[in-house]
Structure 1
Amino acid sequence: MYQDTLQHYFGFDSLRPGQEAVITRILKGQSACAIFPTGSGKSLCYQLPAVQLPHLTLVISPLLALMKDQLGFLHSKNIPAATIDSTQSWEENQQVMQAVRDGTVKVLMISVERLNNERFRQFISNIPISLLVVDEAHCISEWGHNFRPDYLKLPQHRDWMKIPQVLLLTATATPAVIDDMREKFAIAEDNVVVTGFYRPNLDLTITPVEEAQKQHALLEQLSPTQPTIVYVTLQKTAEDLAQWLSQHGFQARAYHAGMDAERRQHIQQAFMNGDCQCIIATIAFGMGIDKADIRRVIHYDLPKSIENYSQEIGRAGRDGQTSHCTVLANKSSLNVLENFVYGDTPDLAAIDAVLAQIQNTNGPWEVILSRLSRDTNIRLLPLKTLLVYLEVHGIIEPQYTYFADYRFKPVMALDAIVAQFQGERQQFVSQIFACSPKARTWHTVDFDALWQHAQAERKRVVAAIDFFSEKGWIELESKQMTDVFRVLEPNFDRAALAGSLYQLFKNKEDNEIGRIQHMISFFESKQCLSHSLAHYFADHRAPEQCGHCSVCRGDAATLPANEAQPEVSANMLQAWCDPFLTACQSPPSTAAVTRFLSGMSSPLNTQLKARQMGGFAKLEAYPFRQVRDHVARLYPDLPE
């Protein structure tokens, strides 16, 4: 069925375990789900069928770097593949779209956000598609460790694109997440293929260590000649630790999302080439890293979850040689991990404020996310999640996105640009420039004036100035990105809907906190770590005693507890909170006051310049729930 294709395109005589089962199901016209460890050939499960299926294979991938790697591989095998992404010019996108229409492209890779683009949706709705592939498919599950709200809409996207088959790919999914993914796409249980998670070459160690001793414990783990990744939680820790290790004779470099892309690429390349042996990294480092000889992965800080831990240690020993994975563990950073979770749950009143905006809108609902975030005190990521929930509930539907403000600086004379056109087009271009007043060197496009004087549609004006920019005739700046939604159902019960949406976020919060507690229990497990880890990811074939983990060596861990914090008096708490409460225009929620005392970022704290207040971050060393209880007792009339 596929042997000739396998040999001709990929040069393989046989498939790895699991690949055959998945590929056979796809070629029989069924949907499937592949749960394979990192580096075990998930991608071939769609690459091979893509050559044999009659129409396009559409791949949803979460990272541009991963798409580029996959495209490079497909091109090396002479398989026609392409991507439409934000780095391409208008002309490049048009070329790809034409090749897809012509049927000369077999694999098209996009981000999930691309499906929010109305123009792309119009294009892809006319293309026959054989297979939808969802890479990192655990992102679709709210019970997964890396939930991405736009993934929730993929089942709906699949329906309107009329795609007959789906292939879900992931390396890290618990049984609950597997069931959730499978049910959302109606994939039969028999079509879920789990190849096994157990890695016999990874030596797992949990080392209990007090916070003050961690740096010296790290030094004992390092070898100057072995490629090593040290994972930390905060960017500042990465910088400080890299500097400290350099002072102690180790060639260490920090790597985190706060660096510009060019610098990150340079550091990553130095590590890949062997010019730098030790990277101190936040979780920004690792996706798409395919270095076979990483000998050590050390968690200097606790990972965010068992899923994150497994992904990060999964980068070690891909050449099959023994590699050591160590956690320098204590409970002192638990508050930091938990506060990431608590900071993302919107207040009930904030959700209600968003719903009120929708109900009070006549016509399309236009949203500048940063402004809505500030006005409602909802962080950007949970705000995007809320909007997706509203889409899934059938309240709103995305239409298109535009930039509210456009300004340009001519590179050539405006008359010369006008002269490039003739007839009605020339008149249209003249009207654009006539309605774009100049301040010093920059012209600002006045869309209202263009409509009043020339009935020029905004969409056509934007297309024109985009064209001028691509030609190099003007330098273009755009800002204030605005999302436009159609309100499908304005007559909802606002209180009931706000309550049910708030409960969704609270359930997610409880799940995330439970995930952190589960991770602590795993690190303190009295059972073989390799067996427990495999079992967590639905692999029931791992040995009960691996012989290469700290538990099997008789060193089950008990993590040092947090230092006990002193009691906080009601008078002290009131002295810290009252200036914050006075600065708020309306009574804040108990959670908002708690976020202030815990030193967490929020739109409200930014607006009020809360960092300059004496009470900000005074209780950051205390558990969030404990602080919230104190605030609720002191201010019982505040909303939840």
Structure 2
Amino acid sequence: MTTKEILQEYWGYDSFRPLQEDIINAVLDGKDVLALLPTGGGKSICFQVPALVKDGICLVISPLIALMKDQVQNLKNRGILALSIYSGMSFPEVKKTLQNAAYGNYKFLYVSPERLETNLFLEMLPSMNISMIAVDEAHCISQWGYDFRPPYMRIASLREYLPDVPVLALTASATKNVQDDICEKLLFQQTHKRFQQSFERANLSYSVFNIASKQNKLLEILNNVKGSAIVYCKSRKQTKDIADLLLLNKINADYYHAGLSNEERNNRQEKWINNTTRVIACTNAFGMGIDKPDVRVVVHYGVPDCLENYYQEAGRAGRDGKRAYAVLLYNDRELADLEQLSTIRYPSKEEIKHVYVSLMNSLQIAAGGGEGMSLDFDIATFSAAFKINILTATYAIKALEQEDILSFNEVFFKPSTIVFNCNKDELNDFEKQHPQLENMIKGLLRSYEGIFDYPATIYEKQLAKFLQKKLSDVEKELKELKRFGIIDYSPQKDTPQITLLQNRMYNDSFTINLQEQKERKLHFEKRVKAMVDYINNKINCRSIEIADYFNDHTVKKCGICDNCINQHDLVISKEEFDNIARQIKEVVSSQGVSLKEILTHLPGIKKEKIWKVIDYLQSENELMVSKEGKIS
């Protein structure tokens, strides 16, 4: 089929969005491609369509387990065979998945970057007919970007094994520096292509408010703008506080953060997607991979630390093309805190070492050992036990991640697994002695192929539905079978995990690359400055300012952001100008008056217009302003 026939057959669309077809054709021509498509711009179509045209399997590299699972499920729903490998899977599960990728009729294999250099993956790679490589969230490969992840640096080594396979790198937001860095780090050919969709969102109205009472302003916004909404908060506690505030004011709301169980997160997300819940108050753990077109307003209740995050999160509003609003609420204290943030975000070597040693002691890892271990880890409990500031702990761990010493997965989900510990004859004998468990045993054998040979991933809810039993009864019987030694049953886990990527260093040999830390800090400070400049900007169109930051200089004035509206309101006709100038001159005496007095005497006129006229009269030497601010 042609690309358009595939689009129609599997996605039901008659035509591509801007640039999608150009990107697809460049990949089909064998070119390396960097594609910058803003949030909601249809990135996945750009690799899924050419992968269905080409023979073989597309390798998709993504850092987000939840996003991987969603995309695999979406492809399966469309009748397209897809697989995924992520942290938490057992060795036999990974091996089986790779065998399916090599010898089955699958079109997509999603993998986390950490999996690329494992011996098992590299052993199976020659057996897989890889047609193309798609690198999602490609900005993660750049040390100078806002979300650097060291495992992404390993992607380039794949090119030694797959020299003629084109690479498509995709991201929603990357500055010119980061774009160049992506192409360099992924060893793009000189003939590579770059495509950048416009950062213009003609239907999205940006506004910024310096406000004393954020609570009142939030209620005002949500009462004025009907429909689905997101409120981004700076802490988990704040998400609950905001949801409670909204419920008190009869606005249907819930909260979401990474500290909730996997099931709770899914339930709350589903209710919001289906409009059962109108407003979701959340941390930035929310929103990745969610395609909800009818979000009418996104409110940032606190200041993001960079325009990349702000643009992505604000861009979740109005994907249906109808008018939507992105509102940022702040106060002066927050801006001052943001400008000091780099000292917190980039701890000293001594602080990092202290956190590292404390962490190893907490996890009970002996010096010289531990590589490859994954362990449950609660950062709040750890910080309290070792009397370390939780922010210092968080950013020290981030620094250790960036040095490839360990990885910290806060949103972790490992499904339940079961494998039989006995042979079939022993199982028959057991069933005769325990007939009450026979139904469960037969259900497991019918539902999960190969359950005698390797641990199978199971979902207790699905099993309960299949057996027509209560979930609690299913869990009880599985535990009973485990107690008898018939099965090895590991219930699902969704606790945060620390994975050690190196053996524990001896205290006197602790090393970290401080030069790279220093350079990352400088890049972070540049991003903070851009965010502060955006907030302080009261004149220029906000859409243009955001687009310029991402090297898109094609965007025209939006006409609907707060600055455009205010500037439009400040247009003064000659007749109005003369009238304001006459009234000012009547108020001003030779002794001089304050601006406050002038504003009091001209109550029906916008103060910005009065300032504009005073500036002009001053420049024409018709008015004088003294050092004390008196106008005469």
TM class, shorter-length:
0.5 to 0.7
Aligned match of 1:269? 270
Tell me which amino acid in the other structure corresponds to 1:221.
I
Distance 1:153 1:171 in 2: 21
Give me the whole-angstrom Cα distance separating, in 2, the residues matched to 1:299 and 1:49.
37
Deviation of residue 180 (structure 1)? Answer: 1.0
> Who is 1:307 aligned against?
308
SS of equivalent residue, structure 1 residue 304: coil
Aligned equivalents of 2:17 and 2:160: distance in 1? 32
Secondary structure of the residue that 2:292 maps to in structure 1?
A: coil
Instruction: Report the CA distance between 1:115 and its aligned residue.
Output: 2.5
Paired position in structure 1 for 2:592: none
Distance 1:530 1:263 in 2: 36
Residue of structure 1 in register with 2:170 after alignment: 169
Cα distance in structure 1, aligned partners of 2:566 and 2:211? 17
Query: Could you give the per-residue CA deviations for residues 27-52 of structure 1, whole angstroms, max 9, x where no partner exists?
Result: 11111011112222211111111122
How far 1:538 sits from its partner (Å)?
2.1
Contact kept in structure 1, 2:116 and 2:154, CA below 8 Å: no
| CA distance 1:161–1:336, shift in 2 (3 Å) | farther
Contact 1:131 1:163 in 2 (8 A): no
Q: Deviations over 1:466-520 (max 9, x none)?
A: 9998995245699998747599xx9xxx89x85xx11211221222233122101
**Deviation at 1:255?**
1.7
Quick one: distance in 2 between partners of 1:411 and 1:540?
Answer: 58
Label 1:473 to 1:225 Cα distance change in 2 as closer, same or farther (>3 A). same
Q: Deviations over 1:593-627 (max 9, x none)?
A: xxxxxxxxxxxxxxxxxxxxxxxxxxxxxxxxxxx
Q: Work out whether residues 132 and 166 of structure 1, in 8 Å CA contact, stay in contact via their aligned partners in 2.
A: yes
2:210 alignment counterpart: 208
User: CA-to-partner distance for each residue in 1:166-217, whole Å, 9 max, x for gaps?
Assistant: 100111111111111112123348601001110000011111213xx21112
State the Cα distance separating 1:240 from its structure 2 match. Answer: 1.4
Distance in 2, matches of 1:237 and 1:362, equals: 39
2:222 counterpart of 1:235 = no
- How has the CA–CA distance of structure 1 residues 153 and 351 changed in structure 2, closer, same or farther, with 3 Å as cutoff? farther
Contact 2:135 2:169 in 1 (8 A): yes
Q: Secondary structure at the match of 2:243?
A: helix
Q: Is the Cα–Cα contact under 8 Å of residues 90 and 455 in structure 2 kept in the other structure?
A: no
State how 1:180-191 maps to structure 2 within 5 Å: 180-187=181-188, 188=190, 191=193
Cα distance, 1:92 vs. partner?
Answer: 5.5
Partner amino acid, structure 2, of 1:515: R
Asked whether the equivalents of residues 347 and 395 of structure 2 are also in contact (C-alpha less than 8 Å), the reply is no
Residue matched to 2:157: 156
Distance 1:10 1:367 in 2: 40
Give 2:52's aligned residue: 51
Structure 1: how far apart are the matches of 2:502 and 2:456? 23
Query: Aligned partners of 2:498, 2:269: CA distance in 1, in Å?
Result: 32
Give the match's secondary structure for 1:554: helix
Query: Structure 1 residues 107 and 476 mapped into 2: Cα distance closer, same or farther (>3 Å)?
Result: closer
CA distance in 2, matches of 1:321, 1:75: 30
Q: CA deviation at 1:302?
A: 0.9
Q: 1:365 to 1:290 in 2, by over 3 A?
A: closer
Distance 1:40 1:465 in 2: 39
1:65 corresponds to: 66
1:342 to 1:103, Cα distance in 2 relative to 1, 3 A: farther
Residue among 528, 537, 541 paired with 2:541: 528
| Cα distance in 2 between the residues matched to 1:465 and 1:78 | 26
Check whether the contact 1:153–1:388 (CA below 8 A) recurs between aligned residues: no
Contact 1:132 / 1:163 at 8 angstroms: preserved in 2? no
Taking a change above 3 Å as real, the CA distance of residues 279 and 339 of structure 1, as seen in their structure-2 partners, is farther
Supply the AA of the counterpart residue of 1:509. K
Deviation at 1:121, TM superposition (A): 3.6
Cα distance change on mapping 1:505 and 1:189 into 2, 3 Å: farther
Aligned pairs (5 A) from 1:326-337 = 326-334=327-335, 337=338
| Alpha-carbon distance in 2 for matches of 1:73, 1:369 | 29
Which residue of 510, 513, 528 maps to 2:525? 513
Alignment of structure 1 residues 115-130 onto 2, 5 Å: 115=116, 117-124=118-125, 126-130=127-131
C-alpha displacement of 1:89: 7.0
**Aligned counterparts of 2:286 and 2:499: Cα–Cα separation in 1:** 31
Q: Which residue of 1 aligns with 2:15?
A: 14
- What residue is the counterpart of 1:537 in the other structure? 550
SS at match of 2:116: helix
- CA distance in 2: counterparts of 1:279 and 1:533, whole angstroms: 25
Look up the equivalent residue of 1:297 and give its one-letter code.
Answer: V
Q: Does 1:552 align with 2:553?
A: no
Which range moved further: 98-107 or 303-312? 98-107
Tell me what 1:281 maps to.
282
Deviation at 1:119, TM superposition (A): 2.8
> Which residue identity does 1:534 align to in structure 2?
A
Q: Distance in 1 between matches of 2:562 and 2:200?
A: 16
Distance verdict in 2 for CA 1:304–1:226, change over 3 Å? same
Indicate if the aligned counterparts of 2:93 and 2:455 stay in contact, CA closer than 8 A: no
Cα shift at 1:9: 4.3
Report the counterpart of residue 473 of structure 1 in structure 2.
487
State the partner residue of 2:595.
none
Contact 1:34–1:169 at 8 Å: present in 2 too?
A: yes
174, 192, 195: which is aligned to 1:193?
A: 195
Normalization by structure 1: what TM-score?
0.66
Q: 1: distance between equivalents of 2:340 and 2:257?
A: 20
Shift of 1:350: 6.8
- Paired residues of 2:140 and 2:152 also in contact (CA < 8 A): yes
Partner Cα separation in structure 2 for residue 159 and residue 351 of structure 1 = 35
Tell me the distance in 2 between the aligned counterparts of 1:127 and 1:266.
37
Specify the structure having the higher radius of gyration (Cα). 2
Write the letter of the residue equivalent to 1:215: Q
Structure 2 distance, partners of 1:265, 1:194, is 33
Rounded Cα–Cα distance in structure 1 between residues aligned with 2:267 and 2:103: 39
Q: Give the 3 Å change call, closer, same or farther, for CA 475–348 of structure 1 in structure 2.
A: same
Q: Which amino acid aligns with 1:506?
A: K
**C-alpha displacement at 1:385, in angstroms?**
5.3
Distance 1:381 1:151 in 2: 20
Corresponding residue number in structure 2 for 1:222: 222
Code of the residue aligned with 2:238 in structure 1: it is: T
Greater Cα offset, 135-144 or 253-262: 253-262
Q: Find the aligned partners of 1:248 and 1:16 in 2 and give their Cα distance.
A: 40
1:320 to partner: Cα distance: 0.5
- Letter of the 1:531 partner, please give it: I
Percent identity at matched positions?
Answer: 34
Residues 560-587 of structure 1: CA deviation (Å, up to 9, x unaligned): xxxxxxxxxxxxxxxxxxxxxxxxxxxx
Q: Superposition RMSD on alpha carbons, in Å?
A: 4.2
Moved more, 313-322 or 545-554: 545-554
Provide the residue aligned with 2:606 in structure 1. none
Change (3 A) 1:77 1:249: closer
Q: Residues 189 and 182 from structure 1, CA distance in 2 versus in 1: closer, same or farther, beyond 3 angstroms?
A: farther
**How many angstroms apart in 1 are the aligned matches of 2:281 and 2:205?**
20
Aligned length: 483
* Residue matched to 2:514: 502
Question: Does the residue aligned with 1:17 lie in a helix, a strand or coil?
Answer: coil
SS at match of 1:332: helix
Flag the 1:420–1:33 CA change in 2: closer, same or farther, 3 A.
farther
SS at match of 1:548: coil
Contact 1:30 1:165 in 2 (8 A): yes
Shift of 1:3: 4.3
Matched-pair contact (CA < 8 Å) for 2:150–2:404: no
Structure 1 unpaired stretches of 5+: 399-409, 422-462, 557-640
Whether the aligned pair in 2 keeps the contact of 1:132 and 1:158 (CA below 8 Å) is no
Please state whether the residue corresponding to 2:277 is helix, strand or coil. coil
Q: TM-score, normalised by structure 2?
A: 0.66
1:295 alignment partner, SS class: strand
- Shift of the 55–339 alpha-carbon distance from structure 1 to 2, 3 Å rule, reads farther
